[in-house]
Amino acid sequence: MQTPLAAVYFDCDSTLTAIEGVDELLAFAPAALRTDIAALTTRAMEGSLPLADVYESRLRLLRPRQEQLDVVGALYVQRLVPDAHAVVQALQHLGKHVGVISGGLLVPVQHVAASLGIPAANVHAVPVRFAANGDYVDFDRASPLWRNGGKIEVVRNLPQDHHPLAFVGDGITDAETIGHVARFIGFGGVVARPAVRARAEHFVETRSLAGILPLVLTAAERARLASDGRFAALLSQAIA
């Protein structure tokens, strides 16, 4: 890579964090619903069922309360993938914008972003409306991120100075950004999805998020990190 990227954006579930938020919400659901909802999620992530069909069905069944989303957000932070903090800090040190584009629910994703020092303005996920008592009302249907192709729309509407950018993610809706970003990197460090591997020009399976660094940095940028005591060891994780 010769032209430096202006930004690196990440998916959240199974990319920045090692869990899937909807799986954690299942802990609050009646046992009879868990298998059906888990199966829907798998089909959506693999691309065999339209995301919009799955999204609406899952939330109608789960009806998460506001405090449950905060619980999931705390779990996200506890289960960040190895070196997530350091990778974000390294990218920001090099002057790159870092952000999140997720089909997950906004409140838990905001927990992750805050923990990693990612600006709130760079966080894109699906807002949820609650009643005054915390009961679920609905999700924001104006958000494009609850349907296939939504991440493409968000990428197109990012500030001009965030382009060219790389997008890193594990799921089929992440891979939909291929051709709309300068570089897509499939991340298999949590779950290696065959459909994503087949589509991605670049695919990494290191448990450490540092595995993406050789794919988003120029040789000069890697040299800058290698010469900085705060980040020198991070580059060695790229091949661990």
Given a cut of 60, is residue 240 above it in pLDDT? Answer: no
Given a cut of 90, is residue 81 above it in pLDDT? Answer: yes
Position 62 scores a pLDDT of 86
Q: Where are the alpha helices (DSSP H) in 63-99?
A: 66-78, 84-93
Please name the residue that has the structure tokens 């609650």: 130
Q: How confident is the model at residue 123 (pLDDT cuts 50, 70, 90)?
A: very high
Given a cut of 90, is residue 118 above it in pLDDT? Answer: yes
Rounded mean pLDDT, 33-46:
71
C-alpha to C-alpha distance for 181 and 239, rounded to whole angstroms: 24
Q: How far is CA 108 from the centre of its chain?
A: 12
Check whether domain 7-239 has CATH 3.40.50.150, yes or no = no
Q: Within 13 Å and on the Cβ side, how many CA atoms surround 181?
A: 32
Task: With beta carbons less than 8 A apart as the criterion, state whether 63 and 24 touch.
Answer: no
To the nearest 5 percent, what fractions of the chain are helix, strand and coil? 50, 20, 30
Position 187 scores a pLDDT of 97
C-alpha to C-alpha distance for 47 and 93, rounded to whole angstroms: 36
- For 209-222, the pLDDT digits (tens) are 999 999 999 999 99
Q: How confident is the model at residue 239 (pLDDT cuts 50, 70, 90)?
A: low
Q: How confident is the model at residue 37 (pLDDT cuts 50, 70, 90)?
A: confident
Rounded mean pLDDT, 110-131:
97
Averaged confidence pLDDT in the chain: 91
Given a cut of 60, is residue 90 above it in pLDDT? Answer: yes
Q: How confident is the model at residue 3 (pLDDT cuts 50, 70, 90)?
A: confident
Give percent of the chain with pLDDT exceeding 70.
95
What kind and span of H or E run contains 172? Answer: helix 172-175
Position 26 scores a pLDDT of 83
Q: How confident is the model at residue 49 (pLDDT cuts 50, 70, 90)?
A: low
